[in-house]
Amino acid sequence: MMSEKKDPRKTFGEALVIAGEKNSKVLAISADSSSGSQMTMFKNKFPERHIEFGIMEDGITGMCAGLATTGKIPVFATIAPFVTGRNFDQMKVDLGYMKQNVKVVGRCAGLSYYHLGPTHQSLEDVALMREIPGMTILNPGDPVEIKAATLAMIEHTGPVYMKVGSDPMPVIFDESKYKFELGKGITMKDGKDITIVGTGTVLCRAAEAADILEKKGISVRLINIHTIKPLDNELIIKAAKETGLIVTVEEHYTSGGLGGAIAELLALNHPTKMKMIGVEDQFGSNGPYEELIGLYGLLGPQIADTCMKLLEKK
Amino acid sequence: MQKITDAEELELKRHAVQLRKDVLAIIKAGDAGHIGGALSATELMTSLFYKVLKNIDPKNPKREDRDRFIMSAGHKCLIVYAVLAEKGFFSKDLFNTYFKINSKLPGHPDMHKLPGIESNTGSLGHGLPIAVGMGIGLKLDKNPAKVYVIMGDGELGEGTNWEAAAAASHHKVDNLVVMIDRNKFQLGGLTNELMNFEPLAKRFESFGWSTRSIDGHNFKEIIDNLTDAPFEPGKPSLIICNTLKAKGISFLEDTAGSHYWKVNPEQVVQAEKELDAIAKELG
């Protein structure tokens, strides 16, 4: 487990080709982003279904909505902040309010652009997308899940935002047994002392923390949330009731993302002690990826330490 | 070019005055509304829905071969509501719900509330990109339908329009016909004083569009040109339609103040009298 690593963008690109083979309505939409988003495979296989628009993300989002009104399923993939923050009005109106069947993939999401700084990092993308009624938000946690999520978002009717990182991701799941169900979390470990909820690029860090804690005799429940909206309310409330302590782990601001969504849910349904691990209210810094996520306590051993401190107070 | 006869032109003028009366009736129900742009675009809308758009069917508003129409300047939606009701997409009884709770006639159009609306607009600069996407989608399917758009001149400041203008030309979206309702005013005053976009035709031509300029209240000119598109094969078509804001109501005509009109009962009576007089003159 977790020995093999794969490029998440390449995994997405390969899955998009499969989606394109299954459904002739699927289009790949590029903002000079096909190579960076690994849609070149799709372009080579279905050149007539690949549309290049150059760098104009706001306009492209609207054009995707227009394409969708004619029955197409545009998949628009580029750097995450440019398809969530920059084009927010188009995401809200043309995809959300108009309920158009467009799939937007924010790649190199979170802190993936570790050297390039806040303009290219997306620590607010989930928070923004959560505020759009009807928007599904996917944040798959390993290559197997990226493939499954890509195929599932095409099957789903309605606007979807999917977040994909860029650093090689360890393979966590056994593809032969893995089943993706949109809106349903996955309990990876059952436990009663604490629940760690991980998502996306740092699911593997949450899993590493769970392993460290188990070796210390802690009974950890590890939940993978690949669909942040709609959230698996039932699974989260059950974990809160049964473990009494929830720690969320995400490459996002500690407000507004997975942690924020769970805090809102539990405040109304089962107030529970919580800790969100992610970036606090500050712009992301820059530097080598491992060191950068370490600044925000997102490495496995750091997550385990944070959990231990919380357990001591429990 | 499709010429229209004098008799057809008279008939269109009668429709136009009725549509203006409908717009006034809607505004009366809500005591306020964006009247100026609705009335400057009335002849354009009359031409589209009575002469130009193909396969528009209120009984089957989603038929695949229909021409699409998008009112990019969504605040001009009162003229859209008026023409869709006159064409039988919904009952004019809905006019009385305007500005009431949960009305199907909001101040900007919602495609999920009314049949015949192709796009939700209101936030400016959205209609043209959506129309370009529609045009490309139709061409991919070899669907001969065209996409018609009315834009306001004030909305030209939104950068997405220029993104879409470049994309339409690059991808040879020649099933796209855009009318700019050049009434020369926006909320705060004269469009050219707030932000100048002249020479407008040359700007679009430099983006690869084929352009014409017409009197946007003259049915013969409107229909001759609309039915002549694409003006050049492989190019999107732009028609600058020179119009008067709030055309048809003397005390509002050609004023920035008509952009959003908060009515008083005496003014409504006067406006109704003026429109009735025009209708009477047309017979």
- Full 3-state SS string of chain A: CCCCEECHHHHHHHHHHHHHHHCCCEEEEECCCCCCCCCHHHHHHCHHHEEECCCCHHHHHHHHHHHHHCCCEEEEEEEHHHHCCCCHHHHHHHHHHCCCCCEEEEECCECCCCCCCCCCCECCHHHHHHCCCCCEEECCCCHHHHHHHHHHHHHCCCCEEEECCCCCEECCCCCCCCCCCCCCCEEEECCCCEEEEECHHHHHHHHHHHHHHHHCCCCEEEEECCEEECCCHHHHHHHHHHHCEEEEEEEEECCCCHHHHHHHHHHHHCCCEEEEEEECCCCCCCCCHHHHHHHCCCCHHHHHHHHHHHHHHC
Residue B148's contacts (CB-CB under 8 Å, 6 or more residues apart) are: B48, B52, B53, B67, B68, B69, B70, B177, B178, B179, B226
Q: What does the pLDDT average to over B29-49?
A: 97
Alpha-carbon gap, residue B50 to B10, rounded angstroms: 13
State the amino acid at position A224 in one-letter form. Answer: N
- Residue from B158, B161, B163 to probe the interface with A (highest A Cβ count within 10 Å): B163
Is the preceding omega at residue B199 within 30 degrees of 0, hence cis?
yes
Q: Across the interface, which of A62, A70, A98 has its CB nearest the CB of B111?
A: A98
Residues of chain A contacting B117 with CB distance shorter than 8 Å: none
pLDDT at res. A3: 72
β strands within chain B, DSSP E: 32-33, 68-71, 147-152, 176-182, 185-186, 189-190, 210-215, 237-242, 261-262
Peptide bond into B109 cis (omega under 30): no
Contact B123 A89 (CB under 8 A): yes
Interface list for chain A against chain B, based on CB atoms closer than 8 Å: 48, 51, 53-54, 56, 58-72, 74, 89-90, 93-94, 97-99
Q: How far is CA B123 from the centre of its chain?
A: 16
Distance from the A67 Cα atom to the nearest Cα atom in chain B, whole angstroms: 5
Nearest-by-CA chain A residue for B161: A59
pLDDT at B66 over 80: yes
In this predicted structure, what is the pLDDT of residue A314? 81
Kindly tell me if the per-residue pLDDT of B121 is higher than 70. yes
| Residues of chain A positioned with their CB less than 8 A from the CB of B163 | 56, 58-60
Is B144 touching A (CB cutoff 8 A)? Answer: no
Query: CB B133 to CB A62 under 8 A?
Result: yes
Q: What is the pLDDT of residue A2?
A: 56
- In this complex, the residue of B123, B130, B141 whose CB is nearest that of residue A65 is B130
Domain with CATH 3.40.50.920 in chain A: 186-313
Q: Which domains does chain B have, with CATH numbers?
A: 6-282 (3.40.50.970)
Residue B65 forms contact with A (CB below 8 Å): no
Task: Give me the residue from A48, A56, A65 closest to B133, CB to CB.
Answer: A65
Confidence bin at A312 (pLDDT 50/70/90)? very high
Check: CB of residue A194 under 8 Å from CB of residue A165.
no
* Domain spanning A5-170, CATH architecture: 3-Layer(aba) Sandwich (3.40)
Q: Are B167 and A67 in contact (CB < 8 Å)? A: no
pLDDT-derived band of residue B2, with 50, 70 and 90 as boundaries? low
| A20-51 tens-digit pLDDT | 999 999 999 999 999 999 999 999 999 999 99
Q: Do B138 and A70 touch (CB under 8 A)?
A: yes
Q: What is the mean pLDDT of residues B191-211?
A: 97
| A1 pLDDT higher than 60 | no
Q: How many residues does chain A have?
A: 314
The tokens describing A62, both together, are: 């609207």
Tell me which chain B residue has its CA closest to the CA of residue A94.
B120
B56 has a chain A CB within 8 A of its CB: no
- Sorting pLDDT into bands at 50, 70 and 90, what band is B1? low
Among chain B residues, the shortest Cα distance to A93 is held by: B120
Domain with CATH 3.40.50.970 in chain A: 5-170
Interchain contact B173–A (C-beta under 8 A) = no
Q: Which residue of B has its CA nearest to A65?
A: B130
> Residue B67: what pLDDT?
98
Q: Centre a 10 Å sphere on the Cβ of residue A225 and count the other Cβ atoms it contains.
A: 28
And the tokens for A125?
């993308």
d(CA A245, CA A87): 37
Coil, strand or helix at B204? helix
Residue B237 has pLDDT above 80, yes or no: yes
Which residues in chain A are closer than 8 Å to B164, comparing Cβ atoms? Answer: 59, 62-63
Q: Which of B112, B126, B159 sits opposite A93 (nearest CB)?
A: B126
- Among the partner-chain residues A54, A61, A66, the one whose CB lies closest to the CB of B134 is A66
**Does residue B126 sit at the A interface (CB-CB below 8 Å)?**
yes
Chain B environment of A93 (Cβ under 8 Å):
120, 122-123, 126
Q: Give the mean pLDDT of A124-145.
A: 98
Which residue in the set B128, B134, B166 is minimally distant from A69, CB to CB? B134
Fold of A186-313: Rossmann fold (3.40.50)
Residues of B in contact with A62 (CB under 8 A): 126, 128-130, 132-133, 160, 164
Rounded-to-integer distance, Cα A298 and Cα A215, Å: 19
What is the reported pTM?
Answer: 0.97
Residues from chain A that touch B160, judged by Cβ atoms under 8 A, are: 56, 58-59, 62, 90
* pLDDT given for residue B101 in this prediction: 97
Separation between Cα atoms, residue A85 and residue A80, nearest integer Å? 8
Higher pLDDT, B81 or A314: B81
A277-289 burial code (b ≥16 CB/10 A, e <16): bbbeeeebebeeb
Q: Is this complex scored with an ipTM above 0.90?
A: yes
Distance of CA B277 to the CA centre of its chain: 24
